[in-house]
A and B are shown apart, each in its own frame.
Chain A
Amino acid sequence: MTIVLETVRLKLHDIAHGRSGDKGNRSNISVIPYCEDAYPLLLEQVTEAQVLELFAHKGASAVKRYELPNLPALNFVIDDALEGGVNSTLNLDLHGKTLSFMLLAMPVEVPLDRVREFTNGRRG
Chain B
Amino acid sequence: MTKDLVHIGCGAGFAGDRKDAGGPVVDTLAKRDGPKYLIFETLAERTLALAQKQKLKDPAKGYSPFLEAYVRPVLERCLAHKIRIVSNFGAANPMGGARKILEIAQELGCRTPRIAVVSGDDLLTVMSEGEIRAHKSIEGLPIGDGIVAANTYIGARPIAEALAGGADIVVVGRTTDPALVLGPLIHEFGWAEDDWDRLAAGTLAGHLLECGAQVTGAYFADPGFKDVPDLAHVGFPVATIGRDGAISVSKANNTGGAVTPASVKEQILYEMHDPSAYLTADVVLDITGVSVAQESDNVVSISGARGKPRPDTLKTTVSFDGGWLGEAEISYAGPNALARAKLARDVIRERCLERGSNAEYRFDIVGLSSTFDGGSAPYPGRPAPAPDGDFRVRAAVSSHSKEVAEDLADEVLSLYCSGPAGGGGFRRNITAQIHTASILVDRNRLAPSVSYCGAET
Q: Could you list which residues of chain A lie within 8 angstroms of chain B, going by C-beta atoms?
A: 13, 17-19, 21-26, 28, 30, 32, 34, 54, 57-59, 66, 68, 70-71, 73, 75, 77, 83, 85-88, 90-93, 96, 98-99, 102, 105-107, 122-124
Contacts and interface: CB of A to CB of B under 8 A. Distances in A.
B356 interface: no
B151 to A, nearest CB: 15
Nearest to B361: A90
A21 B391 CA distance: 27
Contact of B45 (A13, A66, A86, A98): A86
Nearest to A85: B139
Contacts of A107: 381
Given A57-B374, A91-B362, 9 more contacts: A18-B266, A23-B273, A28-B269, A57-B379, A58-B374, A59-B374, A70-B304, A71-B290, A123-B224
Contacts of B446: none
Interface in B30-86: 45-46
B290 A87 contact: no
B309 to A, nearest CB: 21
Nearest to B436: A87
B287 interface: yes
Given A70-B290, A70-B304, A75-B275, A92 B364 contact: yes
Interface of B: 45-46, 138-139, 219-220, 222, 224-227, 260-262, 265-276, 287-292, 304, 322, 325, 360-362, 364, 366, 370-377, 379-381, 394, 396-398, 433-436, 438
Contacts of A88: 322, 398, 433, 435
Nearest to B271: A21
Nearest to B364: A92
A99 B436 CA distance: 22
Given A21-B270, A57-B380, A70 B288 contact: yes
10 contacts: A19-B220, A23-B273, A28-B272, A32-B265, A59-B374, A71-B292, A83-B375, A87-B45, A92-B370, A99-B372
Contacts of B139: 24-25, 85
A110 to B, nearest CB: 15
B433 A87 contact: yes
A27 to B, nearest CB: 10
A111 to B, nearest CB: 21
Nearest to B325: A90
Given A87-B433, A87-B434, A68 B373 contact: no
B273 A83 contact: no
A70 B304 CA distance: 10
Contacts of B377: 57
